[in-house]
Amino acid sequence: MKIRVRLFAGVRERAGTPQLELDGVQRVADVWPRLGLGNEPPGLLYAVNKEYAKRDRTLEDGDEVAIIPPVSGGAFRVTPEPLSLDAVVAEVANDGAGAIVTFTGTVRRESRGRDVLHLDYEAYEEMAEAVIGGIADELLARYELRGVAIHHRVGRVGIGEASVVIAVSAPHRADALAACRVAIDTLKETVPLWKKEVYADGAEWIGRGS
């Protein structure tokens, strides 16, 4: 029995490859020990065939297992192209909306006492857009909304450029404000997106809640 393993961000760099095949792996929990990369880092999650999976899940021949490092935190688009706030606002515009609330996350020059040159974002793109869509479904069920749009950059993002833009429309401002805040907080905790901060003297992958 063979499975394919996909690796991202710091785990990919540690392994020196974005994917590999393993024979005879029976459960999700058996994947990391077979990689030969030392102790398992804290906070790893796993996805099987683009859905989050528990470690006791049994694997079948041909399964794809993605190892998800702690995530950093689009309709829903993950793109290498520059983001447009006007575009997400247009996606949620609705005659029944009395409020449109937006959030734009931008790259800052200084982070944790170090000068940042730029950020590099990486995503498990096939899964990221589906997870973002799931966030929107939960928001639409929880609040009285007319629309949700989330776009996120991948690749190199320069200082002052937008890395994520979100727009939420609702009949009333309270729901729009609350849903927009939940959207960015949930995105940073659940979507398989990672960022590397690049400095003049090195670089570092930043994880969950960054």
- pLDDT surpassing 60 at residue 209: no
Helix, coil or strand: residue 154:
coil
pLDDT band of 72, cuts 50, 70, 90 = low
Last residue of a domain, one of 30, 50, 68: 68
What is the per-residue pLDDT for 168?
96
Look at residues 104, 99, 106, 85 and name the one whose alpha carbon lies nearest to residue 157. 106
CATH number at residue 115: 3.90.1170.40
**Do 112 and 18 lie in a common domain?**
no
**What residue numbers bound the domain in which 184 lies?**
76-206
Last residue of a domain, one of 16, 38, 68: 68
**pLDDT for 135-176, tens place per residue?**
998 998 899 999 999 999 999 999 999 999 999 999 999 999
Average pLDDT over residues 12-33: 93
- The tokens describing 173, both together, are 């401002």
CATH number at residue 34: 3.10.20.30
What is the per-residue pLDDT for 196?
93
Look at residues 125, 137, 119 and name the one whose alpha carbon lies nearest to residue 191. 125
State the pTM of this model: 0.73
State the amino acid at position 19 in one-letter form.
Q
What is the per-residue pLDDT for 71?
58
**Do 112 and 176 lie in a common domain?**
yes
Kindly report the average pLDDT of the chain as a whole number. Answer: 90
Alpha carbon of 88 to those of 101, 105, 180, 206: distances in Å? Answer: 11, 13, 13, 26
**Do 113 and 57 lie in a common domain?**
no
**Do 97 and 20 lie in a common domain?**
no
pLDDT band of 207, cuts 50, 70, 90 = low
**Do 60 and 126 lie in a common domain?**
no
**Do 44 and 81 lie in a common domain?**
no
**pLDDT for 80-123, tens place per residue?**
989 989 888 988 988 999 999 999 999 999 988 899 999 999 99
**Do 46 and 136 lie in a common domain?**
no
Average pLDDT over residues 60-80: 81
The C-alpha atoms of residue 141 and residue 135 are separated, in whole angstroms, by 10
Domains of the chain: total:
2
**Do 109 and 48 lie in a common domain?**
no
What is the per-residue pLDDT for 7?
93
Q: Say which residues have a Cβ less than 8 Å from residue 14's Cβ, sequence separation at least 6.
A: 37
**Do 14 and 113 lie in a common domain?**
no
**Do 91 and 189 lie in a common domain?**
yes
**Do 36 and 100 lie in a common domain?**
no
The C-alpha atoms of residue 124 and residue 128 are separated, in whole angstroms, by 6
**Do 28 and 83 lie in a common domain?**
no
Last residue of a domain, one of 47, 68, 89: 68
Least confident of 4-18, 23-37, 70-84: 70-84
